[in-house]
Chains A and B, each alone.
Chain A
Amino acid sequence: MKERKIILDVQRLSISVQTERGITQAVQEVSFQIEAGKVLGIVGESGCGKSMTCMSILGLLPVSARIDHGSMKLRGQELTDMTTNQLRHIRGRELSLVLQNPMTAFNPAITIGKQFIETLRTHAKLSQQRAKEMAIDCLKQMNLAEPERILKQYPFELSGGMLQRIMIALSLSMKPSLIIADEPTTALDNVNRHHVMEAFRSIKAAGHTSILLVSHDLSVIAGLADHIMVMKDGLIVEQGDADRLMAEPKHEYTKMLWDARLTVNSRNE
């Protein structure tokens, strides 16, 4: 019986949010684990708390939200105890993020290259030249053509699909233990979605990095996840092995989701 290493261990995480109407529980008693090299997919409608969970792991909750109680351990280290500075060291290095809309994720006024290199140089002592070489390597690994030219360009000069792959390349650059991908394919068309899925598949195949994948697109989840967690209104409805869950959903809500087959195409994005 091989003991798989647990990369992320979340226990009874509870987050409350201050809104105009008072305090609401965005996330209630959520517990899950992600093993090394595995992919956990979180599914649910908008507002179920999946994005909040992700942001809290990164320590980037909005000012109006607060972790009431619960623990989150990344490779054994308790995240909720860490100072802002400690968290900052982890972000981008051990833990990285891929956002839904790559067009808005990059600063429109700065070249891709500068943004890539600054991330690298923040976490490792690298010269400008060395960092640039690393960046080019990362882009090449994503099968992006003409990496030197890409570095010189501004975000608005590139397409959404390319930017998303650049963001994935950036997230891999420091060889993190865990990548959090929040709706990575939602803003993309079919062709680009395919490229991005390929990218995630190769990350999964390499086995070094775990992925926390959030999506309301079931085809994406089905294609990548080892384990699935279904959330509704801040609670976990059902979780377990992906194949089993997809074949024999136990909970009513899960069954409803599978039946509805929420895909990108059926939603007005």
Chain B
Amino acid sequence: MVPVLLGASFVCFLLLRLTPVDPAKAYLSVSNIIPTEETLRVVREQLGLDRPFWSQYVHWLWQLCQLDFGVSFFTKLPVASELAARLPVTAMLAFSSLAIALIVSIPLGIAAALRKNRAMDHISRVLAFLGASVPQFWLAYLLIYFMAVKMDWFPLQGADTWIHYVLPSITLAFALIATYSRLLRRGLLECLEQPFVLYANARGLRSFTVIGRHVLRHAIRPVVTAAGMNLGKLFAGTVIVEQIFAMPGMGGFFLEAVFHRDYPVIQGYVLIMAFVFILGSLTADMIQAYLDPRLRQSMGKEG
């Protein structure tokens, strides 16, 4: 985990150095100060750009450990606090999307598996195709058009109450539902062939118990893995969705930073995303271990 994080941080650091535009000049232009020799020199010193490459990197890492992500070129406030202030909205959005996705895909996957090759199965297949093929930003506008503009059921923008989160969450959940329901279906079908399912039925357990208690915890594992790995895609989605629905979250802030060439913010956001992804994978692994005790054994052995 740590080496990946370090590697990602290096990539991040490199990002800024790849720019053809001198960061110092960018800073000045954003602040509306005319770049002269003098001002450039001051800024360079301020940003630590006059030091050798590796020294900059180490210094930067050290700052990161102290949770100092630098100062935004645009707002002049610490990046860390700016991002932290907007975190709740994004977290809420991501969480509710995931929740909706699971609530819909689990019954859908079960129905598709149990009624294999019948109506429900085909419906879920079509839904899955749509989910994988529809552009998220377009779906957002479709929902806006039909639900907000025509029906006036939902607000168009903002993030004040829970209603504001409905349309954005559905937008993000759609693609997830597509993947998860099919994964669950496949996992269930494989699982239902297992001998322990036969034995569970032979013991006279109710179907509900067999599926809910015995089969589900095995069949859901690919979904857990997928969820962990798709976390990154989910956050990429929040960037677009937050902009469309004008929600004051981290994603929207990142996008603004992109347009303003606010490099510290960009850097900070990318780094946080890498961290979130790794956290997501770890969590997924832990859930896997909980679901299957055999993994706990092998994980213990690896140390």
Instruction: Give residues in A with beta carbon < 8 Å to B.
Output: 58, 60, 88-93, 96-97, 99, 101, 104-110, 118-119, 122-123, 154, 156, 170
With A105-B199, A107-B196, A108-B196: A119-B293 Cβ-Cβ less than 8 Å: no
Tell me the chain B residues, 158-202 only, with Cβ under 8 Å from chain A. Answer: 194-196, 198-202
> Is B217 an interface residue, CB under 8 A from the partner?
yes
Known: A101-B195, A107-B200, A118-B213. 18 other contacts (CB 8 A): A88-B204, A88-B205, A91-B204, A92-B202, A93-B204, A96-B203, A99-B202, A104-B196, A105-B195, A105-B199, A108-B196, A109-B218, A119-B205, A122-B206, A122-B209, A154-B293, A156-B293, A170-B203
Could you say which of A60, A89, A93, A156 contacts B201, with CB atoms under 8 Å apart? A60
Closest 4 CB pairs of A and B: A92-B204, A91-B204, A97-B202, A92-B203
In the complex the two chains form, is A109's CB within 8 Å of B293's CB? yes
Residue of B196, B198, B206 contacting most chain A CB atoms (<10 Å): B196
With A122-B209, A154-B293: A106-B196 Cβ-Cβ less than 8 Å: yes
A175 CB, nearest partner CB in chain B, Å: 14
User: How many Cβ-Cβ contacts under 8 Å join chain A to chain B?
Assistant: 71
Could you say which of A91, A101, A104, A108 contacts B202, with CB atoms under 8 Å apart? A91
In the complex the two chains form, is A99's CB within 8 Å of B195's CB? yes
B156 CB, nearest partner CB in chain A, Å: 46
Chain A neighbourhood of B198, CB < 8 A: 60, 99, 105
In the complex the two chains form, is B199's CB within 8 Å of A97's CB? yes
Closest residue of A by beta carbon distance from B201: A60
Chain B neighbourhood of A104, CB < 8 A: 194-196
Chain B neighbourhood of A97, CB < 8 A: 199, 202-203
Could you say which of A107, A122, A156 contacts B204, with CB atoms under 8 Å apart? A122
CA distance A106 to B199 in the complex (A): 7
> Is B150 an interface residue, CB under 8 A from the partner?
no
CA distance A43 to B195 in the complex (A): 22
Chain B neighbourhood of A101, CB < 8 A: 195
Chain B neighbourhood of A89, CB < 8 A: 204
In the complex the two chains form, is B214's CB within 8 Å of A110's CB? yes
Chain A neighbourhood of B201, CB < 8 A: 60, 88, 91
> Is B270 an interface residue, CB under 8 A from the partner?
no
Task: List 25 contacting pairs A-B, 8 Å CB cutoff, sorted by A.
Answer: A60-B201, A90-B204, A91-B204, A97-B199, A97-B202, A99-B198, A99-B202, A101-B195, A104-B195, A105-B195, A105-B196, A105-B198, A105-B199, A108-B292, A108-B294, A109-B217, A109-B218, A109-B291, A118-B209, A119-B204, A154-B293, A154-B294, A156-B293, A156-B294, A170-B203
Closest residue of B by beta carbon distance from A94: B204
B11 CB, nearest partner CB in chain A, Å: 38
Could you say which of A60, A90, A108, A122 contacts B293, with CB atoms under 8 Å apart? A108
Chain B neighbourhood of A99, CB < 8 A: 195, 198-199, 202
Residue of B209, B213, B292 contacting most chain A CB atoms (<10 Å): B213
CA distance A147 to B85 in the complex (A): 55
Chain B neighbourhood of A88, CB < 8 A: 201, 204-206
Chain B neighbourhood of A58, CB < 8 A: 202
CA distance A118 to B204 in the complex (A): 10
A144 CB, nearest partner CB in chain B, Å: 19
Chain A neighbourhood of B294, CB < 8 A: 108-109, 154, 156
